[in-house]
Amino acid sequence: MKTLELIKNIGKHLKTRRGLAILSVSSFLSYLILVLIDNLSLLNSYLFRLDLTSFYTIFTSLVTGYPGSVHIETFVITLLTSVLIGVNLALLSNTLSLAGGSGGFSGSFLGLALSGCAACTTSVISFAGISIGVGFLPYDGLELSILSIILLTGSALWISHKDLKEVCEI
């Protein structure tokens, strides 16, 4: 199928109330996760002391101050990744069936794991045993962020392709 058809199909699903709601909520939540994962130990220290006033203050400061505290490319990649995760989850909610669509979850997880700064990426992807190689990357992990955007875009196109395929209606 042509890419333009797939993109039109994605747009069709995102224009529905349900698609737009899932896109908005999941994009916002993934943005929060990506922003706060950098400072998880700081947040945990206040949360486990049950100092909720300080926790709330730090939480809001981290979220609102994020754009000014990172490089512009990191901020743009974080926003783009959040939106692409939202697109994937909105598409999955519309097209999930036994015949396909489950690959979007892995694409969304990888996008969430690989986006942001290289320091965060290293801690998240260490579960896969590949954190040692991040130190040798020429662009300090920016390659992984671009890879996550490519994976998320490919995942959205794949879900759209599965949705357009003729599948048994039973």
Question: Cβ distance 88 to 156 under 8 Å?
Answer: yes
Question: Cβ distance 62 to 35 under 8 Å?
Answer: yes
How many other CB atoms sit within 10 Å of the CB of residue 136?
Answer: 6
Strand partners for 100? 97
Q: How does DSSP classify residue 100?
A: B
Query: Is position 169 within any domain?
Result: no
Residues 139 and 77: their CA atoms lie apart, in Å, by 14
| Residue 89 lies in domain | 3-164
Q: How does DSSP classify residue 137?
A: -
Query: Is position 135 within any domain?
Result: yes
Residue with structure tokens 């699903």? Answer: 13
Query: Is position 34 within any domain?
Result: yes
Which pTM does this prediction carry? 0.71
CA distances from 51 to 24, 44, 46, 54, 57 (A): 30, 10, 5, 6, 10
Confidence at residue 28, expressed as pLDDT on a 0 to 100 scale: 93
Q: Could you tell me if residue 42 is left (phi over 0), alpha (psi between -120 and 50 degrees) or otherwise beta? A: alpha
Residues 82 and 28: their CA atoms lie apart, in Å, by 7
- 24-75 pLDDT, tens digit per residue, is 999 999 899 888 887 777 777 777 777 778 878 888 888 888 888 888 888 8
Number of structural domains the chain divides into: 1
Confidence at residue 41, expressed as pLDDT on a 0 to 100 scale: 78
Question: Can you say how many angstroms the Cα of residue 4 is from the centroid of all Cα atoms in its chain?
Answer: 23
Residues 20 and 5: their CA atoms lie apart, in Å, by 20
- 132-168 pLDDT, tens digit per residue, is 555 566 666 677 778 888 888 888 888 888 877 755 4
Query: Is position 170 within any domain?
Result: no
